[in-house]
Amino acid sequence: MIRIAVLASGGGTNLQALMDAENPFGRIELVIGSRSGILALDRARSAGIPTRVISSKKLGGEFAARMLETLAEFRTGLIVLAGYLTILPAEIINAYEGRVVNIHPALLPAFGGKGYYGLKVHEAALARGVKVTGATVHLVTEEPDGGPILAQKAVAVLPGDTPEKLQARVMEQAEWELLPREVRKLCRNLEWSKWRA
């Protein structure tokens, strides 16, 4: 059973989708918030999942060491970024190479990279006039939103869409389906590789 740490910065809807999904190969053992008082931490506590707050703003140069120490304490095998708005330092990405996954609310490489997060992604998609957007699950590398793509799902942009309406549709039709499915696959592959080792 792969031990999962979910990192979140907001409402935790993708965390909820992960908690609600069946995953015979992995279990969420830790939720780390980028700040206190976020709904994602409340969701985790309600489900009996341990939580921590690790703030890059407060910790500065100590951030990577604190994060790695906490992940090691919980024997984390897979890190899932679910609406996490902090860029992970290279030390963490390298320590968990191939075991950090992110969900992005667009069809990468469109509307990805530095500055594209949350509603900003949907505002940019509407401003560009695209007819189709969606979500992407990808492995995390040092290049923001630049890691290998694992899965994508397209979602139609409808007349009269606002960034908020489009965000809700992308979450419901793509993110909440893609992320649990791809996390389950990653956990299965990690389990198999443990048995083969």
Which residues participate in catalysis according to the annotation? Answer: 104
Q: How far is CA 125 from each of CA 5, 55, 57, 72, 161, rounded to the nearest angstrom?
A: 30, 30, 29, 38, 11
Q: At what angle do helices 13-20 and 39-46 cross, to 10 degrees?
A: 20
Cβ–Cβ under 8 Å, residues 177 and 13: no
Going from the C-alpha of 81 to that of each of 46, 85, 134, 194, the distances in angstroms are: 20, 9, 17, 23
Q: Which residues contact 2 (CB under 8 A, 6 or more apart)?
A: 25, 26, 27, 77, 78, 186, 187, 190, 191
**Vertex 20: Cα angle to 139 and 66 (nearest 5):** 50
Question: Where would I find the beta strands (DSSP E) of 54-148?
Answer: 78-81, 100-104, 132-139
